[in-house]
């Protein structure tokens, strides 16, 4: 359990093959002591997605473990500290991007492999988020769930531009087209921002194998279960509604 200022943070994570896949290409990390939580959803043939997601998680972990030592975490949180932490976390994601890309360049069986990456890093009474792809981070506060990350998908872009309606998006053939991923090039644009933590907050990091089956309005009731019971229930829900993909959930509780 990590101590963030006056707040304590505890996390729970689980991943499941689902009902249709032969290989689990998701990876996740829960490190309460370091204050780092990651979900990655790999893609690519010949089990390359499995390699990409784990390599990305491991690289981000190593970079943050070293990089956090260089951050000034003493005293009051400032915008300058937030920017420095966001730059460090973005650098960790870029390092993962380069590593996965380089591995694919060296092995033709892994050509085109990549992964999504949703990352949350504790920083005192704040958390910094970094996002690539269509895994998601939600926050549940005062009984309301909100998606804190933006999906990097063709559909999300079309919706944002007003090119399609929400109803059309539900039935689009392009639902799984990702516009940004870690590793399919040697550089990726990373979304970063920070949020203030409050007592009682719950954060859910998850792959699309979960959020594809889950309505945002359903999330608070499940997170109220807390701990392992919440994570187990989320995986049960995704499997009961089809389980067509690997399913990964990480719950971060602020107490």
Q: Are 174 and 154 in contact (CB under 8 A)?
A: yes
User: pLDDT digits over 59-113, tens only?
Assistant: 999 999 999 999 988 889 999 999 999 999 999 999 999 999 999 999 988 988 9
The Cα–Cα gap between 230 and 181 comes to: 28
- Specify the pLDDT at position 175: 66
Q: Which two tokens stand for residue 14?
A: 């689980």
Give the residues of the chain that fall short of pLDDT 70.
Answer: 1-5, 45-46, 157, 174-175
The Cα–Cα gap between 88 and 192 comes to: 10
- Specify the pLDDT at position 5: 57
- Specify the pLDDT at position 3: 56
Q: Are 182 and 97 in contact (CB under 8 A)?
A: yes
- Specify the pLDDT at position 167: 76
Q: Where do the H-state alpha helices sit in the chain?
A: 48-67, 79-106, 154-160, 166-170, 208-211, 219-223, 227-240
- Reduced to 3 states, what is the DSSP secondary structure of residue 37? strand
Q: Determine how many CB atoms are found less than 10 A away from the CB of residue 106.
A: 8
The Cα–Cα gap between 71 and 85 comes to: 7
Q: Are 132 and 157 in contact (CB under 8 A)?
A: no
Select from 232, 248, 31, 26 the least CA-distant residue to 120. Answer: 31
Q: What are phi and psi of 114, to 5 degrees?
A: -165, 180
Per-domain residue ranges of the chain: 2-148+182-254
- Reduced to 3 states, what is the DSSP secondary structure of residue 119? strand
- Specify the pLDDT at position 174: 66
The Cα–Cα gap between 62 and 85 comes to: 15
| pTM of the predicted protein model | 0.93
Share of the chain above pLDDT 90, in %: 81
CATH architecture of the domain covering 2-148+182-254: 4-Layer Sandwich (3.60)
- Specify the pLDDT at position 1: 62
């Amino acid at each position: 359990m990590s101590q963030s200022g006056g707040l304590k943070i505890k996390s729970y994570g689980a991943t499941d093959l689902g009902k249709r896949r032969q290989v689990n290409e998701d990876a996740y990390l829960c490190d309460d002591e370091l204050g780092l939580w990651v979900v990655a959803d790999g893609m690519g043939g010949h089990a390359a997605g499995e390699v990409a997601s784990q390599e990305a998680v491991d690289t981000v972990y190593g970079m943050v473990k070293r990089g956090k030592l260089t951050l000034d975490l003493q005293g009051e949180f400032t915008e300058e500290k937030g920017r420095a932490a966001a730059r460090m976390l973005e650098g960790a994601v870029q390092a993962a991007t380069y590593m996965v890309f380089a591995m694919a360049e060296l092995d033709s069986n892994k050509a085109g492999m990549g992964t999504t990456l949703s990352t949350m890093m504790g920083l005192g009474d704040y958390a910094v988020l970094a996002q690539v792809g269509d895994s998601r981070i939600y926050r549940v506060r005062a009984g309301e769930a909100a998606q804190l990350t933006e999906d990097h998908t063709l559909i999300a872009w079309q919706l944002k531009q007003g090119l399609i309606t929400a109803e059309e998006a539900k039935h689009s053939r392009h639902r799984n087209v990702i516009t940004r991923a870690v590793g399919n090039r040697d550089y990726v644009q990373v979304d970063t921002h920070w949020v203030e933590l409050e007592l009682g907050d719950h954060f859910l990091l998850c792959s699309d194998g979960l959020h594809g089956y889950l309505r945002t309005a359903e999330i608070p009731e499940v997170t109220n279960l807390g701990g392992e019971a919440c994570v187990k229930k989320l995986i049960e829900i995704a499997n009961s509604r089809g389980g067509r993909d690997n399913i990964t959930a990480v719950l971060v509780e602020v107490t």
